[in-house]
Amino acid sequence: MTAATLKSTPLNALHRELGARMVDFGGWNMPLHYGSQLEEHHRVRKACGMFDVSHMLAIDVRGAGSRALLAYVLANNVGRLQQPGKALYSCLLNPAGGVLDDLIVYFFAADWFRLVVNAGTADKDYAWLTAQRDAREPKVTLTARRDLAIIAVQGPQARDKVYAALPGSQAAAADLVYFSAAHMGETMLARTGYTGEDGFEIILPAAQVVSLWRQLGTLGVAAAGLGARDTLRLEAGMNLYGQDMDETTTPLETGLTWTVDLKSERDFIGRSALQKTPPARHALGLVLLDKGVMRGHQKVVTLHGDGEITSGGFGPTLERSIALARLPLAVQPGDAVQVAVRDRLLSARAVKPPFVRHGKVLVQP
Amino acid sequence: MTTPANLKYTKSHEWVKQEADGTVTVGITHHAQELLGDLVFVEAPAVGRTLKQGEECAVVESVKAAADVFAPLSGEVTAANAELAETPEKINQDAYSAWLFKLKPSAVGELSGLLDAAAYQAIADADKH
């Protein structure tokens, strides 16, 4: 794909002005880092950083049949969304139980939900949802909100910085519990994120995003790129779609069993397949004991057979390499394993993710 | 940063400095560290190892990726920079002083095949466009 065909967010020119190294990510021209990925990572853990995540897509689901439609297409239980503003993490499954995407669904009113989906899967998701809508709830409207931009402000100082940058936001958001959202005019403030830190994801009209970004920058919030976003989410033990899971894996194999609602009677796409086929593998974290860096697709050798790393890298907060891996079911947290890194086998230990939460390391090597 | 004129270079982004004692010092270029991003792991070749020109002999890993370092010349490794195992970021800070290893060349003729600063700079510039 050439630069000319890459999509860009409303902040693209500002990223370049800030000296960002730009890369192609899922068809979008996005900032990888603005100088030092490690420094951006530490800023988020210790203070506050901001990410342009406008490549993700907000899809508004409106109409009386919205809840019924989402109850059928989402694996998590939308019935739990009763308080306006409440959010839920869920997979979107195909009939075989494979993961089409992972998303957050926000509930605002009986006839209004909002989904936020991954950039690389957005078009596929929208087409899939449209087909399900046409078949089951033809009166529901689905609107792809490319007129909106999204900034994630994350870190222990994130909320205070947002309150200072956005007049009225403290009154609107001070009472928000984790995983909930409020609207302030056209701006949506959600206490969600992809870093393991406190903070907000702010969804606002595209025309307003440059001035908000500049205002946050004036207050000392560090611009952070996709590189830091990846190491932060890996330390937080969060899956990356396309890497830790895809249409060929089920949520039960990838650490997302807790997001699949098999308790209620509700029928949803993928349910019967998941119930027929118990998982053969499960996901755990790995901490490398030897020196080196684990990477995706490396083989993991265990007493119970081989597994594979799905995401690996260097965890800057732990100052050692960590990974998410798909392993034989018999492998348990605490077990010693080996990872094939180039021409040798390095020692690692299986752990239960997350590795880091709210600035604190939760696993021991 | 300018490409130092007193060094020789390879297409695979190593720099080579000829020392007065007949050995050469080897590192990776500023352009290479820029492409890799923050370095977090360096593995230099063992002292005493005999290398063939073009052979994989060291590994540098950044938060983003792993990259092989290739022997710019044939010869025997006479020293390795142990300090980099603890402080790989020194390569990001100053790629031309953070050397990886020293080599006693066994085929002196290979030196003349290396790139000069202008030729390497042209390769680095072409990468950026």
At A191-218, the pLDDT tens digits run 999 999 999 999 999 999 999 999 999 9
Whether residue A4 has pLDDT greater than 80: no
In a domain, B59, yes or no: yes
pLDDT at res. A52? 98
The angle formed by the CA atoms of residues A211, A217 and A219, to the nearest 5 degrees, is 110
Q: Which of B35, B38, B68 to mutate to test the interface with A (most CBs of A within 10 A)?
A: B38
CB within 8 Å: A37 and B63: yes
How high is the pLDDT of residue A2?
A: 53
pLDDT band at B129 (very low <50, low <70, confident <90, very high): low
Q: What ipTM describes this predicted complex?
A: 0.85
In a domain, B25, yes or no: yes
Residue A68 pLDDT > 70: yes
Q: How far A226 CA sits from the closest chain B CA (Å)?
A: 11
Q: How many CB atoms lie within 10 A of CB A80?
A: 12
CB contact under 8 A, A314 and B43: no
Helix (H) or strand (E) holding A320: strand A320-328
What's the whole-number mean pLDDT along residues A324-338? Answer: 98
- Taking an 8 Å cut-off on Cβ atoms, the answer to whether B64 and A227 are in contact is yes
A1 confidence band (pLDDT: 50, 70, 90): very low
Give the minimum alpha-carbon distance from B89 to chain A in angstroms, rounded to a whole number.
Answer: 10
Q: Is A291 on the interface with B (CB under 8 A)?
A: yes
In a domain, B128, yes or no: no
* Of A332, A283, A325, residue with least CA distance to A304: A332
Total number of domains constituting chain B: 1
Q: What is the mean pLDDT of chain B?
A: 95
* Of the partner residues A36, A231, A293, the one whose CB lies closest to the CB of residue B41: A293
Decide: pTM greater than 0.80. yes
All domains of chain A in start order, with CATH: 3-54+147-235 (3.30.1360.120), 280-361 (2.40.30.110)
Residue A5 confidence (pLDDT): 83
Using CA of residue A144, residue A145, residue A149, residue A152, what is the dihedral sign? negative
The distance of B49 to chain A (nearest Cα, Å) reads: 17
User: Which pLDDT tens digit goes with each residue over A23-65?
Assistant: 999 899 999 999 999 999 999 999 999 999 999 999 999 999 9
CATH of the domain at B50: 2.40.50.100
Q: Read off the pLDDT of residues A256-294 as tens digits, 9 standing for 90 and up.
A: 999 999 999 999 999 999 999 899 999 999 999 999 999
List, in sequence order, every residue forming a beta bridge with A157; answer none if it has no partner.
none
- Residue B77: inside a domain: yes
Which residues form the domain of B93? 8-123
Directed axis angle between helix A206-218 and helix A158-165, to 10°? 120
Instruction: Calculate ∠ Cα B105-B107-B108, nearest 5°.
Output: 80
B129 part of a folded domain:
no
Question: Hey, are the CB atoms on A295 and B64 less than 8 Å from each other?
Answer: no
pLDDT over 90 percentage in chain A: 96
A147-159 confidence digits (pLDDT tens): 999 999 999 999 9
Q: Output the CA–CA distances (angstroms, integers) from residue A90 to A59, A76, A258, B101, in the order listed.
A: 15, 5, 10, 50
According to the model, what pLDDT value does residue B121 have?
A: 96
Whether residue B70 lies inside any domain: the answer is: yes
Tell me which of B33, B34, B40 to substitute to probe the interface with A (most A C-beta atoms closer than 10 Å).
B40
Please tell me the predicted confidence (pLDDT) of residue A332: 97
pLDDT digits 0-9 by tens, B19-50? 999 999 999 999 999 999 999 999 999 999 99
C-alpha distances in Å from residue A27, one per residue of A4, A8, A23, A54, A122: 11, 9, 10, 13, 11
pLDDT, tens digit (0-9, with 9 covering 90-100), for B84-123: 999 999 999 999 999 999 999 999 899 999 999 999 999 9
- Residue among A21, A292, A314 minimizing CB distance to B63: A314
- Say if residue A95 is preceded by a cis peptide, omega within 30 of 0: no
pLDDT digits (tens, 9 = 90+) for A76-135: 999 999 999 999 999 999 999 999 999 999 999 999 999 999 999 999 999 999 999 999
B2 occurs within a structural domain: no
